[in-house]
């Protein structure tokens, strides 16, 4: 094995800037961002409260490729009003009842219908709390029902092709 010249490597290392907090990923500053819905899941908080968890990928600017995090709590009427507004902003009609999500397939279809929607979002920090608000949907498609049926899978087999 060749000897490594640590002194030569150290010259570049020493001249590289070091972030003041020791972390190269500083918090995303407050402001407006063009984003795309990267993922959505239903989760339970440590206190046992249901919420919809959003990961929004920033598409432009100095923070492109980083993620904003949004949580829609699903506890009070006010929470539910915000949830319905955010879902509608994504171009998806909110379900008539949350009981439809007892069916795992319906829950998955709903969550998938929110993906890849481009939104202008605003992040605001108040004390230790960071909130993300949906301002406008950037695609002009009219609101739609979540996909139904076989989740886009088409049966291409004839009954005679099934081996059992």
pLDDT tens digit sequence for 8-43: 888 888 887 765 554 447 899 999 999 999 999 999
Average pLDDT over the chain reads 85
- For a pLDDT cut of 70, what percent of the chain falls above it? 79
CA trace torsion 134, 144, 110, 71 (10° rounding): 10
Domains of the chain and any CATH numbers: 26-140 (2.40.50)
Question: Does the model's pTM come out above 0.85?
Answer: no
Residues 6+ apart with CB under 8 A from 74: 49, 50, 51, 52, 80, 83, 98
């Amino acid at each position: 094995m060749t000897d490594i010249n640590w002194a030569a490597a150290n010259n570049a290392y020493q001249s590289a800037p070091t972030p003041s907090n020791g972390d190269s990923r500083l918090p995303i500053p407050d402001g407006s961002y063009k984003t795309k819905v990267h993922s959505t899941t239903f989760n339970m908080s440590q206190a046992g409260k249901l919420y919809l968890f959003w990961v929004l990928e920033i598409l432009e600017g100095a923070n492109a490729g980083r993620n904003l995090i949004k949580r829609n709590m699903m506890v009070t009427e006010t929470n539910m009003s915000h949830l319905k507004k955010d879902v509608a902003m994504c171009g998806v009609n909110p379900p008539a009842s949350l009981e439809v999500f007892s069916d795992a397939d319906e829950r998955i279809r709903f969550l998938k219908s929110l993906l890849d929607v481009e939104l202008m979002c605003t992040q605001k920090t108040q004390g230790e709390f960071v909130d993300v608000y949906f301002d406008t949907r950037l695609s002009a498609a009219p609101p739609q029902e979540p996909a139904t049926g076989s989740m886009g899978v088409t049966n291409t087999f004839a009954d005679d092709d099934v081996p059992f």
